[in-house]
Structure 1
Amino acid sequence: MLAGLVAMGVVAALGLWAAGAADLPDNAFPRVVVATVVTAVGGALEMSGDAGELAATDAGLTVMPLSVTLTGALVIARGFLRPLRHRTVIGAPELAGWAGRIAVLWLLALVGTAFAARQTFEVPLGEGLLNDLGDLFGVTPRVGFTADVPLTVLFGLLWLAGVLVLALLASRRAPLPGGLPRLRTSVRPPAQAMVALLLAYVVVGVVVALVTAGTRGHPADTFAVLLLGLPNLAWPALTIGLGATWNGRVEGPFGLPMPQVLDEVLRTPDVSTVNVGTLAERDGRMWWLLVAAAVLVLAAGFLMVSRSPARAPAWLHAVRMAVALALTVLVVGLVGRISAHYGLSVLGIGDLGGGLSGRVFLRPRLWGAVGLALLWGLVAGFLGALLARWVGERSRSGRAGS
């Protein structure tokens, strides 16, 4: 468990360093790393501003750095499953006790991390009228963040519970309590398929990012995205490939690291629509998102069927795949949304909506995405069953012929 927290801190530190956060004033880099870990496990940060009586500030941030989240989940899951991999049977009390010990250590780490995640920065006013007013009236705007300890502990424990349950369900070797035999055949294969699908999208994203860094330059920006938010781009790309729509906007001088085509779509006067069509209008290669979704979702369906009992009918595979994919898209929609804003005004100049202000948000049309995932899952599960049956018949005929 502690190894997972350390791994998250290392990945967050490297990503923030690549993004240039090591140059933050007031020796703030370590606390920003801690705050990144807090948000990666679902913790809440409260933004605050102080600019005196002559100025006003406003800030807010809601985003999970999913590269850090994924790193911690993989390391913690491995540590949780390692003592169980050579066991054939385990009782529910023993499993609950083992998970409870991990939860106690995690709770202590969460509390310490949450109390350490607090920092205040001076905000430069830049050049021009705002800077002159600041010098004249002695205005030094400051903005800071503080972790909400109770919410961080609550969501952090829920995150850990989700990681441990998913690890147990997606593992091929870990034993399940004797009273849960149906989970082996009805839940474990779809869970394994969905984990494989999400990891496949991350691997594809890594390859694309490395190629982009090698051909277009700016390697530091690329590695910042890789180490902080690659799943924030790769997993929404899965939903967009399924036909889902996201809404968002980027305004002001600030933004988040993202592909140029996405930034162009989001920088419009009104709320933008992000789907395969709007992305392909600016870059025709975006149609490959549809192809990637078709290939990888079908592969996930085949994987699920191949690890399920052979006697199950095709329609049952289709239903299980539909439910699993819909739940996966629901989770991606909830954890993948982004919202960030900052505003500053001095004597009313700036008005928290211009000058040094900025806003970024991206959120899915969630239930439409879930509905599309249900349809895709039904088709992929049914076709996966037919493909697995055909492969099995070819394999049997080949052995008979030899």
Structure 2
Amino acid sequence: MSARIPSDQAVARHGWPQAVVAVLAALLAMGVVAALGLWAAGATGLPDNAFPRVVAATVVTAVGGTVEMSGDAGGLAESAADLTVIPLSVTLVGALVLAAGFLRPLRRRAVAGARELVGWAARFAVLWLLALLGLALAARQTFTISLGDDTLDDLGDLFSVTPKVGFRTDVPLTVVFGLLWLAGVLILALLVSRAAPLPPRLLRFQESVRPAAYAMVGLLLAYVALGVVIGLIVAATRGHAAETLAVLLLGLPNLVWLALTIGLGATWEGRVEGPFGLPMPHVLDEVLRGSDTAALNLSTLAEHDSRVWWLVAVDAVLVLAAAFVMAARSPRRMRAWQHAVHMAVALALTVLMICLVGRISAHYGLSVLGIGDLGGDLGGELVLEPQIWGALGFALLWGLVAGFLGALLAGPVHRRGEVPR
């Protein structure tokens, strides 16, 4: 009589179809969101049928890949360009779909062996590596840029000054960072999901780590949901629907998570010159535009729009709600000061992540016969960088206070799995 293989082991041994479906679903979701966002931004009008390659480059940057910019302006001129920005709307959609596909075959189980989890992760890594290589090879293009009017264009043709900007993917860096992104998504999925099994050696960490991770993901998603509502209202009432839709589909988390850190008290530094600009809201562009580096915080924003102080109130409500959720999902025996410490660490790590992925750097310049210094009227620059240590300090302070208050509010709440006395 042959031994019957348990269904869970059978799934573990023959899980390639599930992994293929999950990876393809994530890529399809990211590609659709990126394509719709770029379409709303007007990228379908790019020359040489470049739209699919721009979509591929957008997906590459969304998963941590590196896209290099190049410039060429002929023998009498010089051009330079660089762009560093992560379209976090595309990133978020891909992470959610990929995490759901990874967790689906593991659900309804209390414990899983480390070998099984590594096997599932290896399947995803192999498939993701192949996808990254395909996207990296597809994401390359060169564009010819107009000098602005017919006269300048004629002079450019006469002196062989034809400014071009191209992009291509740095394949090794894209593979490395793309796999690190995948590892982060899979680890976070295991930490957040209560139904996901863990190896026996890690079960002792789930009481302190899982509630905090779940609360922080919920906090970030709550800000995104609030941003979607506000964005749709703006699109319906104030016009510019296409531009607003492009922001929602490409960079909504970039804006709402920036607002989260500013509401906590963080300061970002940056400047805006030339044609570049932050698309929404307009007050950000007003603060940063100028020749010197400007500080972006509650004080400077309030000088242009006093409604920015509502960010503090929104942060207070949502961060406290996250602390309450964390405490309600934690064992009752955990003390209030422990909740405060867990919340402070979790919020600080969340703010650190926002600071690392929310940076923006864009520059284009053209110099003809040494005139222009790669800037001026034919160039532009957009830079946005966080003051990380100050942001982390405010996050720790908010986390301690919110964690303590959340523990007090969650005291009367019945925890799942506990028997009332």
TM-score (normalised: structure 2): 0.92
- Structure 1 distance, partners of 2:292, 2:302, is 19
Q: Determine the structure 2 residue equivalent to 1:99.
A: 121
Give the Å deviation of 1:196. 0.1
1:55 to 2:83 alignment: no
Q: CA RMSD in A?
A: 1.6
- Structure 2 distance, partners of 1:201, 1:306, is 21
**How many correspondences in the alignment?**
396
Residue in structure 2 matching 1:136, options 158, 172, 176: 158
SS where residue 201 of structure 2 aligns?
coil
1:196 to 2:218 alignment: yes
Write the deviation string for residues 235-277 of structure 1: whole angstroms up to 9, x where unpaired: 0111000000000111012224231111111112311111111
SS where residue 376 of structure 2 aligns?
coil
SS where residue 180 of structure 1 aligns?
helix
Give the Å deviation of 1:128. 6.7
1:237 to 2:259 alignment: yes
Q: Determine the structure 2 residue equivalent to 1:386.
A: 408
Q: Where in structure 2 are the equivalents of 1:199-218 lying within 5 Å?
A: 199-218=221-240
Q: Where in structure 2 are the equivalents of 1:60-209 lying within 5 Å?
A: 60-127=82-149, 130-209=152-231
AA partner of residue 233 (structure 2): V
- Structure 1 distance, partners of 2:95, 2:405, is 31
AA partner of residue 162 (structure 1): G
8 Å contact 1:255–1:358 — kept in the other structure? no
Q: Determine the structure 2 residue equivalent to 1:337.
A: 359
- Structure 2 distance, partners of 1:362, 1:384, is 33
TM-score (normalised: structure 1): 0.96
- Structure 2 distance, partners of 1:204, 1:280, is 21
1:328 to 2:328 alignment: no
Give the Å deviation of 1:90. 1.0
Q: Determine the structure 2 residue equivalent to 1:315.
A: 337
Q: Where in structure 2 are the equivalents of 1:2-13 lying within 5 Å?
A: 2-13=24-35
- Structure 2 distance, partners of 1:36, 1:239, is 25
Write the deviation string for residues 155-200 of structure 1: whole angstroms up to 9, x where unpaired: 0000000000000100021111111112220100000000000000
Q: Determine the structure 2 residue equivalent to 1:22.
A: 44
8 Å contact 2:328–2:413 — kept in the other structure? no
Give the Å deviation of 1:129. 6.0
Give the Å deviation of 1:379. 0.5
Give the Å deviation of 1:284. 1.3
SS where residue 345 of structure 1 aligns?
strand
Write the deviation string for residues 51-103 of structure 1: whole angstroms up to 9, x where unpaired: 11111100000000000000000000000001111223211101110111111
Give the Å deviation of 1:219. 0.3
Give the Å deviation of 1:392. 5.5
Unpaired runs of 5+ residues, structure 1, are 394-398
Write the deviation string for residues 292-336 of structure 1: whole angstroms up to 9, x where unpaired: 111100000000000000000100110000000000000000000
Give the Å deviation of 1:351. 2.6
SS where residue 378 of structure 2 aligns?
coil
- Structure 2 distance, partners of 1:136, 1:181, is 72
Write the deviation string for residues 101-128 of structure 1: whole angstroms up to 9, x where unpaired: 1110001111111111100000111127
User: Structure 1 residues 391 and 179 mapped into 2: Cα distance closer, same or farther (>3 Å)?
Assistant: closer
Range moving further from structure 2, 159-168 or 48-57: 48-57
8 Å contact 1:130–1:346 — kept in the other structure? no
8 Å contact 1:8–1:71 — kept in the other structure? yes
